[in-house]
A and B are shown apart, each in its own frame.
Chain A
């Protein structure tokens, strides 16, 4: 069997395995969410000011909350299998539409963050490791330590104070300047302009992690026999690092990046809140406090699928980076 058809078979098998995992996640989340006191009707009625018990009972019937739990779960699972994520009664909108609208901004923020954090992390880690115990190494390590230890919301607010309020380079918040009605490239540039501060904030935290990881990984690889061999062959130090060490040292970093994609969706609540970035994290946060179960389950389902997909991609990247790791 050729390498590529083997790979396709592998992907299909992994996808099939993912289905029960995702369903299990949905069921587990469903029951976990039942532990919270109060329901969506309590919140809606509370916000409305005053509502009669009859009205609330009517709402519960409309939302299906008066049914036994197991029936509610059954209905939900049936819908999910038919790719219907249900209806958010709070937002008066289908969950799929809500989630999709908010998924795009999350994706933009997440991808730019991963690219910056992993990219710069690798570079800084490499610089630190190749200049072990020099001032470069120390400076980078201190920088990593500080950014890792600083709370995200504080970094965000400080960036706003410096770059928005004092220097006026970037807008304080939001994803685009909607009052301007940009379209085409102007809109892309406008969104990129708004993206800078949130991306820097979120990247700084993860950057530290990847820098440390890369540094350790490079140091470990440099002690390997093949490096000694390469050096004995008379290869330049530059060639050894970029051709031999780098590739091997990347593996742990890629693993970590895969694991953290999931965390990034949840972890960006703070950044989304500080910069009013209309992403999934904020949506999930609000959905939890308004007990909007359908919406929450929809978000969990999406992030679970995303994590599964990313892990699959990571496994494939492995085999590209290191052909010794076979897909099977």
Chain B
């Protein structure tokens, strides 16, 4: 193959999509779903905050979308082509798409969105588009991305959730951080923003001019905010809402609804998010500066106990620094020695002895504080389990549960912690979601969800840099193999388990699982059985 060409033909894909689910869909209806908590704004180009992701991608779209097998599906880009050296990516932009205010969508909007918005003010955009030096727009339907180095991960970051295309004509010359679009969004997506009643709901209506023929089916989409978890469940049971994702219905209620007629539970739609529960160690503090101590703790934890008893069986024990979801791209490598199937207290104690961390007169080797991510009761219970599980090792844990701003400041600004329980999104590529944990360059005081362990290993840094620009899939897999070996040995972050968030939905609802993005998708194919 002389020139590496990847072409996706949209007419074909759309034809298949329509043929596959022909006739059954019913038009019309109001779809009410749960969003919790209420989003601070709808500026998905400024913030990747979860609740924003539940609403904004219905309004804004990306260049590409991803199906449930993680294949790339065209969206605002009809097709794309990567040059042989991997340094030029040419997107063919769809013709005839208009913004909700009637203006045409062109390659100019793409160039502006990437260079002026996502690269500058988006939290993850600077990483996703780090290699993009410029975007050329020879005509309205062509956008050429010029890259410094190949960036294979970039094509995984072009969904409407991760990298929304925003209207140039409304943002140019304004301060995007202070834009009216934050509360009054204008996109190209299947639903048009109508009204936001603070404390109650966001109402979207059908985009009559949507570029996908015959879509969407629904007349209205309503995102409802219900603060109390039990009431959310009652509203679902009563048919007042039809869908809740990302833990809107707590697992304890989800397993009950699962057994009832008319409701179902699924775990699809999180493969692009890849949430991983974990513990970050402060590697500058004794005795957590010793890799043996960190590894000993990993050996003593029964990950399946956490999953079965606290998360009601939803989750998968971690076996490496990378989620096993990366086996789809060949990057995952199991590390059974550091992540044993069942806990091995004896080996853990041996490791502690080896590191010279010996018990005092009272039998206690280490006294430490475990901070808990303030995102709900499950984490508290997990903390209580950790406290018990580490007791046989002579590690005495004190639990600390604070509110979100206090906890964030403690961990990422003041570095005033021993261990903290947390969860990270590993995202569709390790470059996007995993490097931020471990790279020396990611020790960025005051920045949230980066290398709070302050772990620094030049050898690892080199491997991470190589993996970022390596275009060859096999070589890339090999590099990540080494990365995982090093991290299994050093373990600045101890992964607990791959989280499985739950979608709970009314059985009358269909088409909500059309995209790999699940609840962060556009809902363009959702329809309700009357």
- The answer to whether A276 touches B47 (Cβ under 8 A) is no
A62-B32 in contact given A52-B447, A91-B41, A278-B199 (Cβ < 8 Å): no
- The answer to whether B234 touches A160 (Cβ under 8 A) is yes
A274-B200 in contact given A43-B405, A47-B47, A161-B234 (Cβ < 8 Å): no
- The answer to whether B238 touches A92 (Cβ under 8 A) is no
**A 152-192 binary contact with B (CB < 8 Å = 1; else 0):** 01000100110011001001111100110000000000000
Whether, in the assembled complex, B226 has its beta carbon less than 8 Å from a beta carbon of chain A, the answer is yes
Q: Which chain B residues border A56 with CB–CB below 8 Å? A: 446-447
Whether, in the assembled complex, A11 has its beta carbon less than 8 Å from a beta carbon of chain B, the answer is no
Q: Shortest Cβ distance from A268 into chain B, in angstroms?
A: 12
- The answer to whether A275 touches B405 (Cβ under 8 A) is no
Residue of B50, B225, B410 touching A276 (CB-CB under 8 A): B225
Q: Which chain A residues border B450 with CB–CB below 8 Å? A: 50
Q: Which chain A residues border B37 with CB–CB below 8 Å? A: 286
Q: Shortest Cβ distance from A109 into chain B, in angstroms?
A: 13
Which chain B residue shows the least CB distance to A97?
A: B198
- The answer to whether A46 touches B405 (Cβ under 8 A) is yes
- The answer to whether A278 touches B197 (Cβ under 8 A) is yes
Q: Which chain A residues border B226 with CB–CB below 8 Å? A: 173-174, 276
Whether, in the assembled complex, A37 has its beta carbon less than 8 Å from a beta carbon of chain B, the answer is yes
Q: Which chain B residues border A173 with CB–CB below 8 Å? A: 226, 228, 231, 234-235, 240
Q: Which of A49, A98, A272, A282 has the most CB of B within 10 A?
A: A49
Residue of A157, A175, A290 touching B231 (CB-CB under 8 A): A157
Q: Shortest Cβ distance from A222 into chain B, in angstroms?
A: 44
Q: Which chain B residues border A105 with CB–CB below 8 Å? A: 199
The docked-state distance in angstroms from the alpha carbon of A92 to that of B123 is 19
Q: Which of B38, B403, B445 has the most CB of A within 10 A?
A: B403
The docked-state distance in angstroms from the alpha carbon of A39 to that of B30 is 38
A174-B408 in contact given A53-B445, A160-B231, A276-B227 (Cβ < 8 Å): no
Q: Shortest Cβ distance from B529 into chain A, in angstroms?
A: 17
Q: Which of A37, A62, A91, A282 has the most CB of B within 10 A?
A: A37
- The answer to whether B41 touches A92 (Cβ under 8 A) is yes
Residue of B50, B183, B446 touching A92 (CB-CB under 8 A): B183
The docked-state distance in angstroms from the alpha carbon of A278 to that of B224 is 11
Q: Which chain A residues border B47 with CB–CB below 8 Å? A: 44, 47-49
The docked-state distance in angstroms from the alpha carbon of A173 to that of B235 is 7
The docked-state distance in angstroms from the alpha carbon of A228 to that of B300 is 80
Which chain A residue shows the least CB distance to B53?
A: A49
Whether, in the assembled complex, B48 has its beta carbon less than 8 Å from a beta carbon of chain A, the answer is yes
In A26-83, the 8 Å CB interface with B consists of 36-39, 42-53, 55-56, 58-59, 62
Q: Which chain B residues border A178 with CB–CB below 8 Å? A: 197, 200-201, 203, 222
- The answer to whether A42 touches B413 (Cβ under 8 A) is yes
Whether, in the assembled complex, B316 has its beta carbon less than 8 Å from a beta carbon of chain A, the answer is no
Whether, in the assembled complex, A246 has its beta carbon less than 8 Å from a beta carbon of chain B, the answer is no
Whether, in the assembled complex, B230 has its beta carbon less than 8 Å from a beta carbon of chain A, the answer is yes
In B31-75, the 8 Å CB interface with A consists of 32, 37-38, 40-41, 46-50
Whether, in the assembled complex, B471 has its beta carbon less than 8 Å from a beta carbon of chain A, the answer is no
**B 392-404 binary contact with A (CB < 8 Å = 1; else 0):** 0000000000111
Which chain A residue shows the least CB distance to B237?
A: A165
Q: Which chain A residues border B448 with CB–CB below 8 Å? A: 42, 45-46, 48-51
- The answer to whether A91 touches B405 (Cβ under 8 A) is no
Q: Which chain A residues border B220 with CB–CB below 8 Å? A: 179
Q: How many residues of B contact A (CB 8 A)?
A: 57
A48-B123 in contact given A53-B445, A175-B200 (Cβ < 8 Å): yes
The docked-state distance in angstroms from the alpha carbon of A29 to that of B482 is 55
Which chain A residue shows the least CB distance to B222?
A: A179
Whether, in the assembled complex, B124 has its beta carbon less than 8 Å from a beta carbon of chain A, the answer is yes
Residue of A51, A93, A102, A161 touching B123 (CB-CB under 8 A): A51
Whether, in the assembled complex, B290 has its beta carbon less than 8 Å from a beta carbon of chain A, the answer is no
The docked-state distance in angstroms from the alpha carbon of A286 to that of B39 is 11
The docked-state distance in angstroms from the alpha carbon of A38 to that of B411 is 12
Whether, in the assembled complex, A291 has its beta carbon less than 8 Å from a beta carbon of chain B, the answer is yes
Whether, in the assembled complex, A305 has its beta carbon less than 8 Å from a beta carbon of chain B, the answer is no
- The answer to whether A43 touches B121 (Cβ under 8 A) is no
Whether, in the assembled complex, B174 has its beta carbon less than 8 Å from a beta carbon of chain A, the answer is no
Whether, in the assembled complex, B415 has its beta carbon less than 8 Å from a beta carbon of chain A, the answer is no
Describe A's contact surface by its main secondary structure: helix
Residue of A42, A179, A282 touching B408 (CB-CB under 8 A): A42
Whether, in the assembled complex, B177 has its beta carbon less than 8 Å from a beta carbon of chain A, the answer is yes
**B 21-35 binary contact with A (CB < 8 Å = 1; else 0):** 000000000101000
The docked-state distance in angstroms from the alpha carbon of A93 to that of B325 is 41
Q: Which chain A residues border B168 with CB–CB below 8 Å? A: none
Q: Shortest Cβ distance from B8 into chain A, in angstroms?
A: 29
The docked-state distance in angstroms from the alpha carbon of A15 to that of B63 is 60
Interface band, chain A: 35 or more
The docked-state distance in angstroms from the alpha carbon of A314 to that of B166 is 55
Whether, in the assembled complex, B333 has its beta carbon less than 8 Å from a beta carbon of chain A, the answer is no
Which chain B residue shows the least CB distance to A180?
A: B30
Whether, in the assembled complex, A273 has its beta carbon less than 8 Å from a beta carbon of chain B, the answer is yes
Residue of A49, A93, A98, A290 touching B48 (CB-CB under 8 A): A49
- The answer to whether A37 touches B405 (Cβ under 8 A) is yes
- The answer to whether B406 touches A38 (Cβ under 8 A) is yes
- The answer to whether B405 touches A36 (Cβ under 8 A) is yes
- The answer to whether A53 touches B446 (Cβ under 8 A) is yes
- The answer to whether A289 touches B446 (Cβ under 8 A) is no
- The answer to whether A50 touches B123 (Cβ under 8 A) is yes
Q: Which chain A residues border B240 with CB–CB below 8 Å? A: 171-174
Whether, in the assembled complex, A193 has its beta carbon less than 8 Å from a beta carbon of chain B, the answer is no
The docked-state distance in angstroms from the alpha carbon of A42 to that of B413 is 9
The docked-state distance in angstroms from the alpha carbon of A281 to that of B231 is 17
- The answer to whether A172 touches B238 (Cβ under 8 A) is yes
- The answer to whether A165 touches B238 (Cβ under 8 A) is yes
Q: Which chain B residues border A49 with CB–CB below 8 Å? A: 47-49, 123-124, 425, 448-449
Q: Which chain B residues border A50 with CB–CB below 8 Å? A: 48, 123-124, 436, 447-450
Whether, in the assembled complex, A101 has its beta carbon less than 8 Å from a beta carbon of chain B, the answer is yes
Q: Shortest Cβ distance from A95 into chain B, in angstroms?
A: 12
Whether, in the assembled complex, B409 has its beta carbon less than 8 Å from a beta carbon of chain A, the answer is yes
- The answer to whether B178 touches A39 (Cβ under 8 A) is no
The docked-state distance in angstroms from the alpha carbon of A278 to that of B198 is 8
A37-B406 in contact given A172-B231, A282-B227 (Cβ < 8 Å): yes
Which chain B residue shows the least CB distance to A50?
A: B123
The docked-state distance in angstroms from the alpha carbon of A39 to that of B40 is 15
Which chain B residue shows the least CB distance to A178?
A: B201
The docked-state distance in angstroms from the alpha carbon of A45 to that of B124 is 12
Whether, in the assembled complex, A244 has its beta carbon less than 8 Å from a beta carbon of chain B, the answer is no
Whether, in the assembled complex, A283 has its beta carbon less than 8 Å from a beta carbon of chain B, the answer is yes
Q: Which chain B residues border A39 with CB–CB below 8 Å? A: 405
Q: Shortest Cβ distance from B328 into chain A, in angstroms?
A: 23
- The answer to whether B404 touches A43 (Cβ under 8 A) is yes
- The answer to whether A171 touches B436 (Cβ under 8 A) is no
- The answer to whether B124 touches A283 (Cβ under 8 A) is no
- The answer to whether B182 touches A92 (Cβ under 8 A) is yes
- The answer to whether A174 touches B200 (Cβ under 8 A) is yes
Q: Which chain A residues border B178 with CB–CB below 8 Å? A: 62
User: Measuring CB to CB, which residues of chain B are less than 8 angstroms from any residue of chain A?
Assistant: 30, 32, 37-38, 40-41, 46-50, 121, 123-124, 126, 177-178, 182-183, 197-201, 203, 220, 222, 224-228, 230-231, 234-235, 237-238, 240, 402-406, 408-410, 413, 425, 436, 444-450
List 21 interface pairs A-B (beta carbons < 8 Å), by A numbering.
A42-B405, A43-B404, A44-B47, A46-B404, A46-B408, A48-B48, A50-B436, A51-B447, A53-B445, A62-B178, A91-B41, A91-B198, A92-B183, A101-B197, A157-B234, A164-B238, A173-B235, A272-B227, A274-B230, A275-B231, A276-B228
10 further A-B pairs in the complex, CB-CB below 8 A; given A49-B123, A49-B448, A173-B226: A39-B405, A42-B405, A43-B405, A45-B447, A49-B425, A56-B446, A101-B197, A276-B235, A278-B197, A289-B403
